[in-house]
Amino acid sequence: MIRLEGVTKQYGGFTAVHPLDLHVRRGEMFGFLGPNGAGKTTTIRMIAGVLRPTAGRILIGGYDTVAEPVNAKQIVGYIPDRPTLYEKLTGAEFLRFVSGLWGRDGDAAAKRADELLDLFELTAWKDTLIESYSHGMRQKLLISSALVHSPDVIVVDEPMVGLDPKGARLIKELLRAFTAAGGTVFLSTHTLEVAEALCDRIAIFYQGRIRAMGSMDDLRNEAEAGTAGLEDIFLKLTRSEDVVELVAALRASGGVV
Amino acid sequence: MARRRAREAASLSRVLVLGFAGIVFWGLMFGIMFRMLSYFEAAEGIGDVLAVKLLSLIFLAFLSILLLSNIITSLTSFFLGRDLELLVAAPIDSVRVYGARLLETIVQSSWMVVLVLVPVLSAYGLTYGGSWPYIITVLITVLSYLVLPAVAGAAITLLLVNIFPARRARDLLALLALFGAAGLVVLFRLLRPEQIVRPEGFRDLVDFVAALETPGSVWLPSEWAARAVLSGLPIEHLNGDRFPLLLLASTAAAFVVLGCILHTRMYAQGFSRAQEGAELRDRTGRRTPLIEHVFGKLPITTRSLVAKDVRTFFRDTTQWSQLILLAVLVVIYIYNIKVLPLRTGEDVGFFLINVVSFLNLGLAGFVLAAISARFLFPAVSLEGRTLWLLRSSPLDLRALVWCKYWVGVTPLLLLAVSLTVGTNLILCVGTFMMILSVTTITVMTFAIGALALGFGALFPRYETDNAADISTGFGGLTFMMTAVGYLACVIVLQAWPVYSVLRARAEGAAITPAQITSLAVGLGLAAALSAAAAVIPLRAALVRLNGA
């Protein structure tokens, strides 16, 4: 459903993403992990059609994001990590606007927006300007907006940021139900337990390259980590074992950790 | 490294262009003032009086602008700024907060006025032979003069925010509009421009001079400022009179103290109220809002974009509060045309009126360029932070550019045509000039709108939410210079052929084929230039957005 072929991104002389080949199947939940500055958000923005790759091509449902952007974007719902919304629109107006961008109109679109507002417990706030929303409410509205046009693919960067436990559980269930119904999810997160619990396959991305990819078992084998959890595998594959040692040293010295 | 070097080179070229434009502007301003004051100086008796009157008019006009500007700026600097939460939570004395924010408000709302005052006051100094005492007097005067509207503006905002939550922009702006309108009426009442332009209305010269010598109002700080500045110059009856300067400086100091007391007492409550911004919209529960009914015939994507743009525009304080200033500008513009002393002489009639109507086009074009800089130029920048949504949607960016263009140009066109037709009717111009000027202003509006949108996309400023800030940068200046250049070209291309045809008609002579040809060539070239000015920037905007 999502296919990356030799996708590269350069900013001037700096290569953020080295040639990247990847295939995410229909109905799959794919986790994309990596430390800060690894190039995850750049990759996600390229898949969502916000950025153009410097080289290579990205196919969504068989549509090239550069050659046939309208067809490709028609089936994608994108949830960025630090979004700016239209502060002077109300929640309901924002969803109506996003529906309009995807060409959805009439009662069916309005009904879908109402259902999502209800699902995310935003109905009481739907006629309030977004500038008054809390961080969690914004995140819920943002996720609603990515679902309002019933996409086949969800591309999501840090979905749990700012959500309360109930909201986080809702998102997890929602993503599970989405993939169970044949939808595809490309998910980037720092919450490793979320990735571990939800994803069918995980890629560890580091310095613009995939270091390891596969199921949890595949990653354990690759990291020679025995029965270790994703956190240890992640730290090992991203060469951050010294972080573990540092935390241990601080604990031993009675520091703040 | 290469990117840094490229950025440094770009910023150097910006500084050079800005510096050059600034020097040209200052030079022009200084030249005009110096010439005028030299005439005044040469006129025995009445000259000095006119010089005083002119300066007090300048200070008075700026005072009302400064007051409005300070009210709007202090809303952000005292209540809506993003850093305020940190500042208010920090253990800082409220007097220090007041001082720092007042200074910020003064700088942000007054820098343009200071830029204009520099050549004006230099011209006064050079014409009347001012030296060091004059410079010191000017510095103290201008500083005190700027402090007064800033303190008043901050205090008015403080009171308003204590009555209404700061984000209830509509209520606040309804009051601001009232202030604007009231300020305008007071301004015209005090200016009494008819007395200056119609000296024949006085019984004799003594009456005229007496009317001029009467201060606009002894209560107005602008009058004190004018007299304080001129007390540093060897002008008869003003030289060495330190009372206006002392009055101005001591009032400014007293204002700061009073403002500080008011701030200490009311700021905490006002700031707290300013955070209570939850505002309910669309309480009617209507399924399809009115605004979407109005644009119901448009395709859904375009309709959504237009409805979003209209809504966000009218709900954003920084956007539509400037409409008050625009209304003031339009009223002054029409008023000026109305009081032009065209019909006071015996044989000015047909020819002069038509020429004025023609020149009026250039001025109207300039007004349109200024409005476009404020409202159309920031259109793409304001979309910047939410561009992720538009770019990830299946929206064709051409639709976005077209939508922005028409949403901006349609009201601009209505304003331009009404202004031109209105002023032409006041001037009683002939059919030829009416058709020519309405056609020209229509074409100019399309071109200027495209230039503003195109330059806005080529020089975006995504880092700010404040539309007023966006148009004051390098891109805004480049747009204004290009727009003025375009206007000058269109006027020059039309001027000679129109002049020769008008002259022939005024003299009752037949219009020759050569005149018709030159008219056709002039108008054709102006149309071609306008088409280029409309198409090229819009294409550039699209390329830029697609490649961003």
Q: HEC states along A153-165? A: EEEEECCCCCCCH
Gap from A63 CA to chain B (nearest CA, Å): 12
In B340-348, alpha helices (H): none
Residue with tokens 């990830």: B392
CA distance B120 to B37: 10
Beta-bridge partner residues of A90: A129
Angle at A89 between CA A88 and CA A93, to 5 degrees: 175
Within chain A, strands assigned E span: 2-11, 14-24, 29-33, 55-60, 63-64, 76-79, 153-157, 184-188, 201-206, 209-214
Give the single-character DSSP code of B52.
H
Q: Do B392 and A76 touch (CB under 8 A)?
A: yes
> Percent of chain A scored above 90 by pLDDT?
31
In chain B, what residues touch A74 (CB-CB under 8 Å)? 394
A182 strand-pairing partners: none
The whole-angstrom separation of Cα A76 and Cα A53 is 17
**Does B379 contact A at CB distance below 8 Å?**
no
pLDDT of A254 over the 70 cut = no
| Contact of B382 with B465, CB cutoff 8 Å | yes
The owner of tokens 């540093």 is B232
CA distance B119 to B27: 8
Q: Which residues of B touch A92 (CB under 8 A)?
A: 282
Burial of residue B118, with CB atoms counted within 10 A of its CB: 0-12 exposed, 13-18 middle, 19 or more buried: middle
DSSP one-letter code for B509: P
The per-residue pLDDT for B122 is 92
Pick the residue of A10, A11, A88 with the most B CBs within 10 A to test the interface with B by mutation. Answer: A88
Across the interface, whether the CB atoms of B281 and A104 are under 8 A apart is answered: no
Strands A63-64, A55-60: pairing kind: antiparallel
Please provide the DSSP assignment of B465-493 as one string.
--HHHHTTSHHHHHHHHHHHHHHHHHHHH
Q: How far apart are CA B316 and CA B308, in angstroms?
A: 12
Q: What pLDDT is stored for residue B213 in this prediction?
A: 53
Specify the pLDDT at position A58: 93
Q: Which residue from A13, A92, A129 is facing B279, i.e. has the nearest CB? A: A129
CB pairs under 8 A between A and B: 101
| Cα distance between the two ends of chain A | 43
Classify residue B116 as left (phi > 0), alpha (psi -120 to 50) or beta.
alpha
Per the DSSP assignment, residues forming a β-bridge with A33 are A204
- Residue B170 host element (H or E): helix B169-191
DSSP codes of every residue in B62-110: HHHHHHHHHHHHHHIIIII-TTHHHHHHS---HHHHHHHHHHHHHHHHH
Burial class (CB in 10 A: 0-12, 13-18, 19+), B81: middle
Q: Give the Cα separation of B119 and A59 in Å (integer).
A: 61
Residue B13 touches chain A, beta carbons under 8 Å? no
Residue B530 has a pLDDT of 93
Q: Are strands A184-188 and A153-157 parallel, antiparallel or unpaired?
A: parallel
DSSP A53: -
Q: Helix, strand or coil for residue A18?
A: strand
Q: Which positions ≥6 away from A217 have C-beta within 8 Å?
A: none
For the full predicted model, state whether its pTM sits above 0.80: no
Contacts of B304 in chain A (CB under 8 A): 96-97, 99-101
**Rounded-to-integer distance, Cα B495 and Cα B415, Å:** 24
- Angle, alpha carbons B41-B46-B48 (nearest 5°): 45
Report helix angle A241-252 to A230-237, nearest 10. Answer: 110
**B residues 285-324 closer than 8 Å to A (CB):** 287, 289, 300-301, 303-305, 307-308, 311-312, 315-316
CA distance B99 to B78: 11
Element (H, E) at A136: helix A135-147
Q: Where are the beta strands (DSSP E) in A67-159?
A: 76-79, 153-157
**For residues A221 and B45, what is the distance between their CA atoms, to the nearest angstrom?**
101
Question: Can you read off the two tokens belonging to residue A236?
Answer: 């090992």
Q: 3-class DSSP state for residue B150?
A: helix
From the CA atom positions of chain A, what is the Rg in Å? 19
List the alpha helices (DSSP H) in B192-277.
193-197, 205-213, 221-230, 243-274
Q: How many residues does chain B have?
A: 548
In this prediction, residue B142 carries a pLDDT of 95
Distance from C-alpha of B30 to C-alpha of B120, rounded to nearest angstrom: 6
Distance, CA of A21 to CA of A2 (rounded, Å): 11
How far away is chain A from the Cα of B173, in angstroms, using its nearest Cα? 16
Best CA proximity match to B484, nearest among B355, B357, B367: B367
Residues in A closer than 8 angstroms to B305, CB to CB, are 100-101
| Whole-number pLDDT of residue B39 | 82
Percent helix, percent strand, percent coil in chain A, to nearest 5:
40, 25, 35
Report yes or no: A207 and A180 within 8 Å, Cβ to Cβ.
no
Subunit contact B301:A101, Cβ cutoff 8 A = yes
Q: What is the pLDDT of residue A131?
A: 84
Task: Classify the complex by whether its ipTM is higher than 0.90, answering yes or no.
Answer: no
Residues 385-414 of B with CB under 8 A from A: 385-396
Residues 6+ apart with CB under 8 A from A13: B1, B2, B3
Token pair for A120: 């995310």
From the list B369, B379, B523, B521, the residue with the least C-alpha distance to B447 is: B369
Any chain B CB within 8 A of the CB of A24? no
What pLDDT shows up at residue B345?
A: 47
Per-residue pLDDT tens digits for A134-181: 888 898 899 999 999 999 999 998 888 778 888 888 888 889 999 999
Q: Which of these, B110, B191, B185, B101, lies nearest to B145 by C-alpha position?
A: B110
Q: Does B207 touch chain A (CB under 8 A)?
A: no
| Residues of A (87-146) whose Cβ lies below 8 Å from B | 88-90, 92-93, 96-105, 107, 110, 127-129, 131-132, 145
Task: Tell if the CB–CB gap between B277 and A80 is shorter than 8 Å.
Answer: no
Chain B: residue whose CA lies nearest to A52: B547
The number of CA neighbours under 13 Å toward the Cβ of B506 is 17
What residues does A59 pair with on adjacent strands?
A3, A64
Q: What angle do CA A77, A82, A83 make, to 5 degrees?
A: 55
- pLDDT for B192 equals 54
| Cα–Cα distance, B246 to B248 (Å, whole number) | 5
pLDDT of B2 reads 45
CA angle B49, B66, B258 (to 5 degrees): 100
Residue B298 C-alpha from the chain's centroid? 34
Identity of residue A184: T
User: Whole-angstrom Cα distance, residue B386 to residue B404?
Assistant: 15
Give chain B positions within 8 Å (CB) of A127: 280-283
Nearest-Cα distance to chain A for B404, in Å, is: 15
Cβ neighbours for B148, distance < 8 A, ≥ 6 positions apart: B63, B221, B248, B251, B252, B255
Report DSSP state, residue B533: H
Asked if the Cβ–Cβ distance from A128 to B281 is below 8 Å, we say yes
Q: Is B427 within 8 Å of B342 (Cβ atoms)?
A: yes
Rounded to whole angstroms, the Cα distance separating B292 from B181 reads 32
How many Å lie between the alpha carbon of A70 and the closest alpha carbon of chain B?
4
Q: Residue A211 in contact with residue A236, Cβ under 8 Å?
A: no
Closest chain B residue to A130, measured at CA: B278
| Lookup result for tokens 């805004």 | B476
d(CA A196, CA A178): 17
In this structure, how many other beta carbons lie within 10 angstroms of the beta carbon of residue B278?
Answer: 13
Condensed to tens digits (0 to 9), the pLDDT of residues A53-97 reads: 999 999 999 999 888 888 899 999 999 887 788 888 999 999 999
A12 neighbourhood in chain B, CB within 8 Å: 2-3
**Does B4 touch chain A if contact means CB atoms closer than 8 Å?**
no
d(CA B146, CA B222): 10
C-beta atoms of A92 and B282 within 8 A: yes
In which residue ranges of chain B is pLDDT below 70?
1-11, 45, 165-217, 236-239, 276-289, 317-322, 324-325, 328-329, 336, 339-355, 465-468, 547-548
| Residue A153 near residue A184 (C-beta atoms within 8 A) | yes
